Amino acid sequence: MIRFDCDYTEGACEEIINVLKETNMEQTPGYGTDIYCDEARAKIRKICECPKASVEFLVGGTQTNTIVISSILKPYQGIISADDRTY
């Protein structure tokens, strides 16, 4: 059975594991300030055809959801979601 609970319940694909093996002993500054994030920003800007876009990386889904929701809703609006846990 394929489950789509969240991205924390699966391992990474083989290509990602291989890159992690290759770069495991590299010392880099904090998340978001390393060369890999800089390369990802450049690729995202290119794909979006927006060379001056501000591209920021967040540490998790909860933080990302909070920022996106707060940026699109008015202060008096909110989110309604169903509790659809079938497990």
Residue 30, pLDDT above cutoff 60: yes
Residue 33, pLDDT above cutoff 80: yes
Asked whether residue 55 is assigned to any structural domain, the reply reads yes
Domain with 54, as residue range(s), is: 14-72
Residue 9, pLDDT above cutoff 90: no
Mean pLDDT to the nearest integer, 27-33: 89
* pLDDT per position as a tens digit, 13-29: 899 999 999 999 999 99
The pair of structure tokens assigned to 30 is 């904090």
Asked whether residue 51 is assigned to any structural domain, the reply reads yes
CB atoms within 10 A of CB 59: 9
pTM exceeds 0.75 for this model: no
Asked whether residue 49 is assigned to any structural domain, the reply reads yes
Structural domains counted in the chain: 1
